[in-house]
Structure 1
Amino acid sequence: MTSVVTALSHRWEAAVAACLEPMPNVTIVRRCADVAELVSVTATGLGDSAVVSADLRQLDLTVIAALRSRGVWVVGLHAPDNDGEERRLRQLGVDVVLPVDAPGPVLAAAVRDRSPVVTVPGVADPGRPQDAPVARDGAGGWRPAGPGSATAPEGRVDDLDAEVPLDPISGRVLAVWGPPGAPGRTTVAVTLAAELASRGRSVLLVDADTYGGCVAQVLGLLDEAPGIAAACRAAEHGDLDLISLARVAPEVTPRLRVLTGLPRADRWPEIRSAALERVLTVSRSLAEYVIIDCAFCLEEDEELSYDTEAPRRNESTLTSLAVADEVLAVGGADPVALQRFVRALQELGGVPSGPPRPVINRTRPSAVGGEPRARIAASLERFAGLSAVHFIPDDPAAADAALLAGRSVVEHAPDSALRHAIGELATAIAPDTARRSVRRRPSWRSRRGVRPTHG
């Protein structure tokens, strides 16, 4: 027997209850009046499935994520022929989306079988077009295959000033993280993003630092309207798609888009975990490489608060690390920074994250003595078991000049040692983007006193 909890607007509550009650192996255990009651009821463990309506007030991505984290199967109902409501439910990550006038056997199968594809003998699934190609994303449910999501209306791309890729992309997510002490996370993230863009790859740079995001300032951008807050807000309400994300992440240089961060640290509650995860999922379809500038703290906020449903400041970093395909762990090159780096790597091993790629920034002999690379590599191999480490030299002249100009090092100091080191890192991450250096042999005319011989 499947126990069902409903949370529907007054327009549909009676009709849906009358449709489900006669169905075998399905029983309605609670008819909730609003979202707050739905969340509290499911928190007690009551209900195997939940039926919600698209017009239910305060229904958002965080609510759906909370239900699914408790193992509750969510079925969303929308008004017949209302494409907007159907699209919103799919973007919220509802498991099954059906029209409210779906036949009783279809609705009962949706809540009972816990399958995203509802099949009832002799009855077509009204929530899904026949023979539609299916593509999966991490939010659950199904959506038509193609670039972005089911929310990209046909025929609108040409009418928009925000260019989006027309071919499907499955981008790679890289999280740039490091311990406290300003090891250079933002410098590495910005320069790496600019380097990959200069090699012809589409890149989206995301500032997800909830403590001190500064990507906008580094690149000389206005940050009064933070892009990441707008994107998370749209995702929270089920309005985020490929086109809307492209609008809030403008292209600042060819092939490089930037989703600016929070201008003030006290606005961190605007970045919710479920919303950020949705933003990063859509980002994979917008750019070949998604580079996230993360904050340092990995502490679980639940340990600091009894209210586990409240927003958590560190969930932005934890979500970014969990979603990332690879983590660039950035540390400093002085004794204090290296000690912090080794301890932070131990903490990183305790949270869900992609494999770390260690990067030591500002490498210089004045901090650790002669042959700094060999010394640091030996220490990291001894105390952290790291054998492959990327080193970035200390190049304050190039970094300061680029910061003063509000440009990336790739643009402002293309021949600097800092840029060349980041270029080597980019090649290691994306070998297919490696620049080929062609050395030209000098002609005989350039050789003094040497003439070509014939015969």
Structure 2
Amino acid sequence: MSDERVVTVLVAVRAPDEEAAAVTVLGAQPRVTVTRRCAELTELLASAEAGAGTAAVVSGDLPGLDREAVARMRAAGLRVVAVEDAATPAARLAALGCDVVVAAGDAENLVAAVRGAPPEVVEPSVAVPDAGGRRGTVVAVWGPPGSPGRTTTAIELAAALAGVGAAPARRGGLLRRSRGTRPSGSVRPPGADTVVLADADTYASSVTSRLGLLDDAPGLAAAARAASRGALDVVALAHHSPVVLPGVRVLTGITRASRWPELPAASLDVVFERCRELATWTVVDCGPILETDELITYDTRAPQRNGATLSALQAADVVVVVGGADPVGVQRLVRGLEDLRDAGVPGVAARVVVVNRVRDAVVGRRAGSQVRDALARYAGVDDVHLVPDDPAGLDAALLAGRVLAECAPASPARAAFQDLAERVRELVPALT
């Protein structure tokens, strides 16, 4: 008994009767000490980050309690025990990342939950319902600052994975479409995979503009807010990600760069897991910056602008690294690959290096071979996927707000993106 760990508890229960009961029950236990009774969430978080406790007992109706708050308590080393109430069911509390949920008045289970070992993983885990053993695959499309075509690569890869084809092009004016409309002229084979395309770029999101969407409400931010409240399920995610191409849903990005705090990493972790349940593939267009030592990190309560990109890379099964086929672009790509290795993100299952806009005019004769040789020599990359420069096809797609399969089916760039999709499929044999 003398070797048993002393448990120090922070109590933030809103109802006075329930708070008094919890304090009385816990205070009567050996080697359990209630160090502070917190009146609000701010006081609870400050006490947690000051190291005043090893466990926290919170009520489900505590104002401001969300996934980010629970993540902060867990990051401070606390075991979070939530007390269920009529307004907040146990499933919602579990979705917030709480370690244990107990019923109000259940003193025995409350004591057992508080005495439990602290969580081994700092970040809250995400519970994923059983989908018959099959889960979707997350593909993160990332590139260093200045990389041309990150968004185009993400869009074309999503269309290729979904099997979007093309019918004869319509003559006449340009087609603009709103969210949720099926564009005429697009076809896909029966039984093709479904794809969620998520715009997680917190610096210059552009999927909405690139696809010519009239409704630019940030679907990814809305899904993140639902996840923060523990209310994001597959139905809610489908509502926030309308179909804009056959088989392709889009989670649109933030409309202004200043709205980046709406994409916290703790919530996006849940969003990407729900995407695995909704679609076979999730393609995430990431921002270019990977630094974790931002100027605001001195304040541990501040959100991190690069958290969205790091969350996507953390969740990814495959990372597609995009660079440009010119001397400056190759140099940035080599440095970017080093930054990716040093970013602190766990090793992903696979990585594909893509070099866009390959052309002799800027590199010299046999541009593809020169790019491959440079990356093999300076970055140790032997397998490079080259996308030829096709200004006519890509300009037509940008002008029309369509993918290449719709307006330039014979484009050599489209063929390269289709090959990229096949390469990605080969890296995930469980889904083939």
- TM above 0.5, yes or no, is yes
Match of 1:331 among 323, 337, 341: 323
Amino acid at match of 1:241: D
**Aligned length in residues:** 390
Choose the corresponding residue for 1:273, options 259, 262, 265.
265
Number of the residue aligned with 1:185? 150
Structure with the greater alpha carbon radius of gyration: 1
- More relative contact order in 1 or in 2 (CA 8 Å, sep 6+)? 2
CA shift for structure 1 position 241 = 1.3
SS of the counterpart of 2:277?
coil
Q: Structure 1 residues 177 and 223, CA, compared in 2 at 3 Å: closer, same or farther?
A: farther
- Tell me the secondary structure at the aligned position of residue 396 of structure 2: helix
Return the alpha-carbon distance in structure 1 between the equivalents of residues 296 and 364 of structure 2.
Answer: 41
| Structure 1 position 231 matched with structure 2 position 223 | yes
Equivalent residue in structure 1 for 2:210, among 212, 218, 225: 218
RMSD of aligned Cα (Å): 2.1
Structure 1 equivalent of residue 44 of structure 2 = 38
Structure 2: 5+ residue stretches without partners = 1-5, 164-188
Does residue 107 in structure 1 map to residue 110 in structure 2? yes
- Residues 240 and 141 (structure 1), Cα distance of their counterparts in 2 relative to 1, 3 Å cut: closer
* 1:235–1:275 CA contact under 8 A, matched in 2: yes
TM-score by length of 1: 0.82
Decide whether aligned partners of structure 1 residues 27 and 196 sit closer, same or farther in structure 2, where only a CA change above 3 A counts: same
Which ranges of structure 1 fall in alignment gaps of 5 or more residues?
Answer: 117-137, 148-166, 435-455
**Residue 140 (structure 2) pairs with residue 146 (structure 1):** no
Distance 2:161 2:217 in 1: 26
> Quick check: 1:223–1:261 contact (8 Å CA) kept in 2?
no
CA distance in 1, matches of 2:376, 2:215: 41
What secondary structure is seen at the aligned counterpart in 2 of 1:180?
Answer: coil
What residue in structure 2 maps to residue 284 of structure 1?
A: 276
**Displacement after TM superposition at 1:230 (Å):** 0.5
Query: Following superposition of structure 1 onto structure 2, how do residues 252-267 of structure 1 map, counting pairs within 5 Å?
Result: 252-267=244-259
Write the letter of the residue equivalent to 1:99: A
Matches within 5 A, 1:129-168: 139-140=124-125, 145-147=129-131
Cα distance in 2, alignment partners of residues 433 and 312 from structure 1: 31
Distance 1:304 1:73, change over 3 A: closer
Task: Flag the 1:402–1:181 CA change in 2: closer, same or farther, 3 A.
Answer: same
Asked if the contact 1:169–1:284 (Cα under 8 Å) also holds between the matched residues in 2, the reply is: no
CA–CA distance in 1 between the matches of 2:22 and 2:135? 39
Match status 1:29 vs 2:39: no
Amino acid across the alignment from 2:220: I
Shift of 1:141: 7.7
Are 2:408 and 1:406 equivalent residues in the alignment? no
Mapped to 2, the partners of 1:38 and 1:310 lie a distance apart of 16
Specify the alignment match of 2:159 in structure 1: 194
Q: Distance in 2 between matches of 1:97 and 1:348?
A: 38
| Greater CA drift, 255-264 or 12-21 | 12-21
Measured in 2, the distance between the counterparts of 1:329 and 1:141 equals 26
Match of 1:418 among 406, 413, 422: 413
Q: Distance in 2 between matches of 1:140 and 1:66?
A: 13
In 2, distance between residues paired with 1:140 and 1:187?
32
User: Which residue does the alignment assign to 2:89?
Assistant: 85
Q: Is the 8 A contact 1:299 1:314 kept in 2?
A: yes
Whether the 8 Å contact between 1:301 and 1:312 is mirrored in structure 2 is no
Conserved? CA contact 1:395–1:417, under 8 Å: yes
Q: TM-score, normalised by structure 2?
A: 0.86
1:427 alignment partner in structure 2: 422
Letter in 2 for 1:338: V
Which consecutive aligned stretches of 4+ in structure 1 deviate over 4 angstroms post-superposition? none
Task: Give the C-alpha shift of residue 168 in structure 1.
Answer: 6.5
Give the aligned partner of residue 306 of structure 2.
Answer: 314
In the alignment, the residues of structure 1 paired with residue 24 and residue 10 of structure 2 have an alpha-carbon distance, to the nearest angstrom, of 14
Q: Does residue 49 of structure 1 match 2:44?
A: no
- Where 2:342 maps in the other structure, the secondary structure is coil
Tell me, yes or no, if the aligned pair for 1:94 and 1:140 is still in contact at 8 Å: no
Deviation at 1:26, TM superposition (A): 2.1
CA contact (8 A) 1:168 1:285 kept: no
Q: C-alpha deviations, 1:297-344, integer Å up to 9, x for none?
A: 112243455323112211111221122112110000011111111111
Distance across 1 between alignment mates of 2:387 and 2:294: 36
Give the partner amino acid of 1:7: A
Distance 1:213 1:246 in 2: 20
Residue 244 (1) aligns with residue 247 (2): no
SS at match of 1:285: helix
Question: 372, 385, 394: which one pairs with 1:390?
Answer: 385
Is contact 1:331-1:337 (8 Å) kept?
yes
Q: Which residue of 2 aligns with 1:150?
A: none
- Deviation at 1:240? 1.2
Taking the TM superposition and a 5 Å limit, the aligned residue runs for 1:123-134 are none
Partner Cα distance (1:273, 1:206) in 2: 14
The answer for the alignment partner of 1:98 in structure 2 is 102
Query: 1:295 is matched with which residue?
Result: 287
Q: Distance in 2 between matches of 1:281 and 1:365?
A: 42
Query: Would the alpha carbon gap of residues 53 and 172 (structure 1) be closer, same or farther in structure 2, given more than 3 Å must change?
Result: same
Q: Aligned pair 1:15/2:18, yes or no?
A: no
Residue pair 2:74, 2:124 contacting (<8 A) in 1 also: no
Distance 1:62 1:101 in 2: 27
Q: In the TM superposition, what whole-angstrom CA distance separates every residue of 1:68-97 from its partner, at most 9, and x where no partner exists?
A: 112211111112xx3843222011011111
What amino acid sits opposite 2:286 in the alignment? Answer: C
Instruction: Rate the CA distance shift 1:400–1:207 in 2: closer, same or farther, 3 A.
Output: same
Q: Report if the CA contact (8 A) 1:95-1:141 is conserved.
A: no
Deviations 1:218-277 (A, max 9, x none): 112134421011011111122111111110001112221100001111111111111111
- 2:361 counterpart of 1:361: no
Q: Is structure 2 residue 379 aligned with structure 1 residue 376?
A: no
Distance 1:423 1:89 in 2: 43
Q: Could you tell me how far apart the structure 2 residues matched to 1:360 and 1:234 are?
A: 36
Residues 265 and 432 of structure 1: is their aligned pair in 2 closer, same or farther, counting only changes over 3 Å?
Answer: closer
1:62 aligns with 2:68: yes
Aligned residue number for residue 136 of structure 2: 171
